[in-house]
Structure formats: C-alpha cells, structure tokens
C-alpha cells in the first residue's frame, strides 16, 4: 500500500518560519494526514561547513544542530521517519578533485547514515553526483558510497537529479547503477526533474526498483492541480499512471511556494485522489 510522506524542508513555511527552523516540524506535521515524513538533513544546520550547494539561507545566522541530535529530537517528538534525505552536498563533495573535500563528503555520508539508522528509517535518498560537473564517473562514485553504505541495513536510493555530463543520460546512469547495486537498493524518482528532461515514461522502465516518488511542485489553486517547478509534465496524470502500474511504495510531497498549511493539505488531497 502506498504511504504518503511530506518532506520536512518546506514544512516550517506552513506557519511562517524559515525552512531551516526544525522546531516547527512537529507543529506542522501534527496537523497533516500523512504516514510520516522524509526528514531532510540540511547542510545549513552544520556548524562546521557552509553549504556548497545553492541556498537561500544565511548560514551564519540560521539554526545549527548535528544530524545525531536532530534524529534524537525527532524521536522525542515521536515522528515517523520512513525516509531520510541525506545531505544534498554529499554528491558534490564526492565529485570534487580535492581529496580533502572527498573525505569530507565520506564523513558526512557516514554521519548521516548513522543518524538515519537510529530512526527505524527504511529508505535513504542520495544525490550521487554534482549536477554541474561536466564529467562524472558513476561507477567510481557508487563504489565510494557503497563502501560506507554496506554496513547499514538502510535501503539506498539514488535520485534522478539533473546531469550536466552530456555523455550519459539519467536512464543510462540508473542502468549502470542497477547492475552494481544489491537487490534491495534502488531509486527515488523526482517528477520535477522528469518534467525538466521529459523522461518520465523512460524512467518508468525502472519502476520495480523505484522506492520513492518525489512530487515536487506547487499548488495551482485556479486549476486545482499540482504543477512542477520546471517543464510541463502533467503531475496529476503521472501520479495516476503510477497507480495503473501498481506502484505501492512511498510518495513524498516536496512542496514549493507554500503560502500556508492549506497548500500542504490541498496538495496531499490532490495526490491521494489519483490513487482512489
């Protein structure tokens, strides 16, 4: 049976808080009808290093907390966390030509996995590569990650984030990874990035290995639909297509442009409607 999750990244915005304000998460989640959250380990929380990926936050002034402490804090508030989105900087760091940055990426990955494993999490989501890197070695990156992940029982999923390497497509990257991965590993399919590349149907060829769907977009109240941030993919039809393919794992709402709590409730209602 499909389980409906909501990403913690935008939850604080529902009550007018900055997205880095983790203290708002319990206040919002208690008002939503979901099966749990996808807890996002934000690089903005790290006291040691500023994010190397794009951010709208003022790193010097935003709240700081370690991933182990946020995991404990979430447990104290009895929030169900079936999925954890690992620090989005990890792939960029691992793609660096600087060994110091690579080692930092490995350390952050280890810390994230250790924290996720305390939450009874099933799925972890990873941005494996640097979106802006013109040349990436999928096999080398995966092997580096697997050496750390293999000691944990977590289900690693690689997200279809944008690729700048013109020698490989997302489907080709996933196909390479599928051959390397243990059977219980797989992928997270972000519909917004499918919209960007117009490759939704293409990536559905991997449906049996997709464990998490990210519905990333915003509510168009006039049309009563969710629209992607980029491109023209019909998200409502795409979600219905997943139902027709008997998809029965996680669907995670990644809401952008959220004005208040009603945007979250309406988006979740629209997603559920496609599976009725």
Measuring CA to CA, how many Å separate 18 from each of 13, 84, 128? 6, 20, 27
Tokens of 160: 């279809």
Cβ within 8 Å of residue 155, ≥6 positions away: 122, 123, 124, 184, 185, 186, 211
φ/ψ region of 257 (left if φ > 0, alpha if ψ in -120 to 50, else beta) reads left
The per-residue pLDDT for range 140-197, each reduced to its tens digit, is: 999 999 999 999 999 999 999 999 999 999 999 999 999 999 999 999 999 999 999 9
Tell me what pLDDT residue 256 has.
87
The per-residue pLDDT for range 227-246, each reduced to its tens digit, is: 999 999 999 999 999 999 99
For residue 129, which phi and psi values (nearest 5 degrees)?
Answer: -125, 170
Q: Please name which of 225, 139, 228 lies closest in space to residue 189, comparing C-alpha atoms.
A: 228
pLDDT at 259 over 80: no
Per DSSP, 181 falls in state: S
Determine whether domain 18-214 maps to CATH 1.10.150.120: no
- pLDDT, mean of residues 94-117: 98
pTM: 0.97
Q: Please name which of 62, 77, 66, 73 lies closest in space to residue 29, comparing C-alpha atoms.
A: 77
Tell me what pLDDT residue 118 has.
97
Tell me what pLDDT residue 258 has.
76
């Amino acid at each position: 049976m499909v389980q409906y999750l909501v990403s913690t990244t935008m939850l604080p915005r529902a009550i007018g808080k900055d997205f880095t304000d983790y203290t708002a998460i319990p206040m919002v989640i208690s008002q939503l009808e979901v099966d749990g959250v996808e807890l996002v380990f934000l690089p903005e929380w790290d006291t040691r290093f500023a994010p190397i990926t794009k951010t709208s936050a003022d790193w010097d002034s935003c709240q700081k907390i370690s991933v182990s402490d946020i995991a404990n804090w979430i447990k104290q508030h009895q929030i169900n966390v079936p999925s954890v989105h690992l620090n989005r900087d990890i792939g960029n760091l691992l793609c660096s030509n600087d060994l110091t940055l690579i080692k930092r990426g490995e350390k952050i990955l280890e810390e994230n996995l250790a924290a996720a494993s305390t939450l009874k999490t099933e799925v972890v989501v990873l941005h494996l590569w640097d979106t802006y890197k013109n040349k990436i070695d999928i096999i080398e990156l995966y092997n580096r990650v697997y050496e750390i992940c293999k000691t944990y029982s977590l289900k690693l999923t690689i997200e279809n984030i944008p690729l700048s390497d013109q020698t490989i497509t997302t489907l080709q990257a996933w196909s390479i990874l599928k051959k390397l991965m243990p059977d219980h590993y797989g992928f997270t399919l972000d519909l917004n990035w499918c919209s960007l590349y117009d490759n939704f149907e293409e990536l559905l060829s991997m449906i049996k290995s997709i464990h998490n769907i990210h519905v990333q977009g915003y509510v168009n109240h006039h049309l009563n639909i969710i629209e992607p941030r980029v491109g023209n993919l019909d998200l409502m039809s795409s979600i219905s297509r997943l139902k027709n393919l008997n998809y029965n794992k996680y669907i995670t709402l990644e809401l952008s442009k959220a004005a208040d709590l009603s945007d979250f409730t309406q988006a979740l209602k629209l997603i559920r409607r496609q599976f009725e």
